[in-house]
A = this chain, B = another copy of it.
Amino acid sequence: MAAAAGRRVTAADVARAAGVSPATVGFVLNNTRGQTISESTRARVLEAASRLAYRPNSAAQALVSGRSRIILLVLPDWPLEFLLRNWLDEASRVLDESGYSLVTYARRPNGATRPLWESLNPDIVFGLVPFSDDDFVSMRGCGIRRIYPDPARWDNTELRMAVRTGPELQVAHLHERGFTKLVYAALEEPRPYSLVEARHRAACDHADSLGLPPPDLRLINYRDGSAERVVRDWHAAGVTGVVAFNDDVAATVVGAALRAGMRVPADLAVIGHDDSLIAATFAPALSTIGFDTTALGRGFAYFALHEVEGHPLQRWQAPENAAELVHRETT
């Protein structure tokens, strides 16, 4: 047998085993609409395919259909893992039900020079922050027709959740608690980062809408011991609240403040972002923003399906209460 010879099983093998043509194998296995198949033929094909453990060659399918059924999600150059865990699980699950595979790809400065979309041939590419012009041109050149965010449609709710909703809730909470002189804090490492800028901008915009001065962006180092001095300087400059990029940053700031002999939140209030494990664990426990990542992941998957199938949603229905303030001890 062909299969026994070490060769991979092809549609032709299945056809031979079932006593039909390769075309019929395709009709049965793909449930080709507009094509009627007798019950007995269908049964024989299915039996043979299952017995031979036939798996279509995805490269051949991609070549002939012009579609890879791969959805590529390009992640920004900044830690998102905690937020993304359930999100990706759920999104992958939903997309899989429709025959799509979700591949994630962290595009980093010193990473691969040949971007992954070149070898993967995805049907659609998503990013959480806008793509550079170079990336855009590169994707187009690889025959990728659907790229998101599309500059013309940049205010999508899914992206708001990743970028704007958190900072807005953070600033609003500090404002409510009476902390009005704020800074926006992120870490120097691992590298420069686009998502920090986007969230910082959202924080500034929301501060402005509340009549607060814009929180300056401050980068801190978590290893060299300089954080204590930095935090003390903030205090001396009258800063009363810190909007942290994520809970790790918040923990770093709180730790530094405690070492510097300050009281949290009396001397300095700090709010994190993500409601990650460390937020509940840290002493004092961190106030933060929690997200219903499963609901958001499902929402993304539906959105992606509509886009990739060429039926874009007219408007995006955000999950109710997908983001919420978690008030603990640092504000």
Contacts and interface: CB of A to CB of B under 8 A. Distances in A.
Nearest to A257: B283
- What bracket does the count of chain A residues touching chain B fall in? 35 or more
Contacts of A108: 89
A248 B277 contact: yes
Given A118-B58, A251-B281, A258-B283, A112 B141 contact: no
A101 B89 contact: no
A55 B92 contact: no
Interface string A187-219: 100100000000000000000000000000000
A222 B281 contact: yes
A115 to B, nearest CB: 9
B63 A60 contact: yes
A314 interface: no
B69 A119 contact: yes
A110 B96 contact: no
Interface in A130-144: 141-143
A81 interface: yes
Contact of A283 (B9, B103, B113, B259): B259
A222 B280 contact: yes
* Centre residue among A63, A70, A113, A277 by max chain B CB count within 10 A: A277
A229 interface: no
Contact of A101 (B106, B116, B187, B248): B116
Interface string A52-65: 01010111101100
Interface string A63-93: 1000011100000000101000110110011
Contacts of A141: 9, 53, 55
A114 interface: yes
A316 interface: no
A57 B92 CA distance: 26
A92 B251 CA distance: 31
A294 to B, nearest CB: 10
A315 interface: no
Contact of A92 (B9, B79, B112, B258): B112
A99 B119 CA distance: 9
A55 B119 contact: no
Given A59-B59, A112-B93, A119-B70, A278 B280 contact: no
Nearest to A60: B63
A120 B248 contact: no
Nearest to A56: B118
Nearest to A114: B96
11 contacts: A63-B63, A68-B119, A92-B112, A93-B112, A96-B112, A101-B114, A104-B104, A222-B281, A248-B277, A252-B277, A282-B282
Given A8-B143, A81-B81, A282-B282, 16 more contacts: A55-B118, A55-B141, A58-B120, A59-B68, A68-B119, A69-B119, A93-B112, A96-B114, A101-B116, A101-B118, A103-B103, A120-B120, A222-B277, A248-B278, A251-B282, A278-B278
